[in-house]
Amino acid sequence: MTSEVTPDLYASVPDADGRFGRFGGKFVAETLMSALADLEQLYFDLKDDPAFQREFDLDLAHYVGRPSPLYEAARLSDDIGGARIFLKREDLNHTGAHKVNNTIGQALLAKHMGKKRVIAETGAGQHGVASATVAARLGLECQVFMGEEDIRRQTLNVYRMKLLGAEVISVTSGSRTLKDALNEAMRDWVTHVDNTFYIIGTVAGPHPYPMLVRDFQSVIGREARAQSLAQVGRLPDALVACVGGGSNAIGLFHPFLQDDSVAMYGVEAGGKGLETGQHAAPLSVGSPGVLHGNRTYLMQNEDGQILDTHSVSAGLDYPGVGPEHAWLKDIGRVQYVAANDDEALASFHRLTRIEGIMPALETAHAMAYAEKLAATMSPEQHIVVNLSGRGDKDILTVAAIDGIEV
């Protein structure tokens, strides 16, 4: 008799068509289809190639500085008086956020494909900086598309990209934020598909991007799982991460999906409040649709037009979300919640003052929910929060909100 094999649901996605249940897929113009097929083929060839994995792991160790620590925020935990809070310190990575895990991986793919030029879209500028960084290191031409509105609120990252040798292209169409930067990057890619590699910064876009970005970011969860076992002696009771497109959240969640005892919370940008309509929370209040190459939850009106979003954090200011999150929501494995601008700002100050760690405003959304969640739990339990990025880039935004001139 053969033993029953439980098919691994979470390893079965995406399927051969790039689907996560009814989500995902390849909704792009015909001109890009062969480029996507080439990328998928190359990725499947390389992903199990020990030499490629070694190259990736070495870069993560020596260039990014991995593994990133799992730090117990003891003072914050005491202050809240519930579960122990651990922070997965992606803010300590080279360039200051989780984004670089993915850009290292995709730049290696670009190198293997012999592409001399890379492009990227960026919202908060973290992915743009991470792309400009790997481009500098590999001697590749780099252009970063960024909404005019985001260029205004992320001046420090814009200058960092320029210092790194990248050209930042201001996008003035639509709402002039991340979604429009993505449109413009896709338009550039379709025009220069022969010599250009598009480094997508999140787990969205057409297949195979949601899959390969997830795989590159899953180092976060693999480390956190091992660190939790080593430092606490068991798996965490809950994971918390912010969700814009959702790459830091998928990176933390994915290696834990089969661990039924681990609850997971993805925190969207509640903006001025879900009831105001001024937010960026498609999983909380959106509906399924097709945008940027995949089917997912979107913020859209009844005519299927994409709505403008609002968040104090440029990196979460996006009307869609990665298709795997849409699927994880539908099957109920991950709970998606929202934190408002003011809650995120309060958590930004709280973590800075109590732990001496200044989180990115995106990350502060995860902290805001983690604080609430911890308060409902016991000190025997522990939570891992993905501290996905550092907050230096947001200092001017915070100062302006607090009415302080820097």
Partner 1 sequence: MSRLSHTFAELRTRGRKGLVPYVVAGDPSPDGTVTLLHALVAAGADVLEVGVPFSDPMSEGPVIQKGHERALARGMSLQRVLDMVSVFRQEDDKTPIVMMGYANPIERFGYERFAAACAKAGVDALITVDLPPEEVDEIDGALQGVGLDNIFLISPTTPEARIQTIVERARGFIYYVAVKGVTGSGQLDAEEVSRSVALIRQKTDLPIAVGFGIKDAESARAVAASADAVVVGSALIAEMDKKARSGEPLQEIQIHDAAVQLLQSMRAGVDSSPS
Residues labelled catalytic: 99, 121, 388
Give the CB-side neighbour count of residue 316, counting CA atoms within 13 A. Answer: 35
Binds partner 1 (CB under 8 A): choice among 14, 20, 28, 321: 28
Distance CA 165, CA 135 (A): 9
Distance CA 137, CA 219 (A): 21
Distance CA 27, CA 213 (A): 18
Q: Whole-number minimum distance, CB 216 to partner 1, in Å?
A: 24
Which strands sit side by side in the sheet containing 167-171, from one edge to the other?
Answer: 167-171, 141-147, 117-122, 196-199
Place of tokens 């730049």: 107
Whose Cβ is closer to partner 1: residue 56's or residue 197's?
197
* Residues in 31-60 that interact with partner 1 by CB under 8 A: 31-35
**Nearest to residue 358, comparing CAs of 348, 368, 367, 366?**
348
- 15: contact with partner 1 by CB under 8 A: no
Q: Whole-number minimum distance, CB 28 to partner 1, in Å?
A: 6
Q: Whole-number minimum distance, CB 29 to partner 1, in Å?
A: 5
Whose Cβ is closer to partner 1: residue 185's or residue 377's?
185
Whose Cβ is closer to partner 1: residue 36's or residue 338's?
36
Binds partner 1 (CB under 8 A): choice among 13, 26, 101, 369: 26
The 10 Å CB-count burial string (b at 16+, else e) for 298-337 is bbbeeeeebbebbbbbbbbbbbbbbbbbbbbbeeebbbbb
Whose Cβ is closer to partner 1: residue 194's or residue 402's?
194
Query: In angstroms, how far apart are the furthest CA atoms of the chain?
Result: 74
Distances (CA, A) of 335 to 123, 210, 238, 299, 396: 25, 20, 11, 18, 32
**Nearest to residue 91, comparing CAs of 233, 248, 240?**
248
Binds partner 1 (CB under 8 A): choice among 76, 164, 171, 298: 298
Q: Whole-number minimum distance, CB 37 to partner 1, in Å?
A: 9
Whose Cβ is closer to partner 1: residue 191's or residue 261's?
191
Binding-residue total with partner 1 (CB under 8 A): 36
Candidate ranges 23-31, 220-228, 235-243, 356-364; the one touching partner 1 (CB under 8 A) = 23-31
Q: Whole-number minimum distance, CB 191 to partner 1, in Å?
A: 4
Whose Cβ is closer to partner 1: residue 327's or residue 348's?
327
**Nearest to residue 385, comparing CAs of 185, 283, 281, 238?**
238
Q: Are strands 84-89 and 70-72 parallel, antiparallel or unpaired?
A: antiparallel
Whose Cβ is closer to partner 1: residue 13's or residue 298's?
298
Candidate ranges 108-116, 130-138, 298-306, 360-368; the one touching partner 1 (CB under 8 A) = 298-306
Q: Are strands 238-242 and 263-271 parallel, antiparallel or unpaired?
A: parallel
Q: Whole-number minimum distance, CB 297 to partner 1, in Å?
A: 12
Distances (CA, A) of 281 to 200, 241, 285, 322, 406: 21, 14, 6, 12, 31
Distance CA 32, CA 281 (A): 29
Q: Whole-number minimum distance, CB 31 to partner 1, in Å?
A: 4
Binds partner 1 (CB under 8 A): choice among 8, 9, 15, 29: 29
Distances (CA, A) of 126 to 94, 96, 122, 322, 390: 11, 8, 7, 18, 10
Residues forming beta bridges with residue 298, ordered by sequence position: 287
Binds partner 1 (CB under 8 A): choice among 125, 201, 289, 315: 289
Binds partner 1 (CB under 8 A): choice among 107, 118, 119, 306: 306
Candidate ranges 63-71, 73-81, 285-293, 379-387; the one touching partner 1 (CB under 8 A) = 285-293
* Residues in 179-238 that interact with partner 1 by CB under 8 A: 179-180, 183, 186-187, 190-194
Whose Cβ is closer to partner 1: residue 25's or residue 266's?
25
Q: Whole-number minimum distance, CB 243 to partner 1, in Å?
A: 20
* Residues in 114-173 that interact with partner 1 by CB under 8 A: 173
Distance CA 277, CA 296 (A): 19
Binding site for partner 1 (CB under 8 A): 17, 25-35, 173-174, 179-180, 183, 186-187, 190-194, 289-293, 298, 300, 302-306
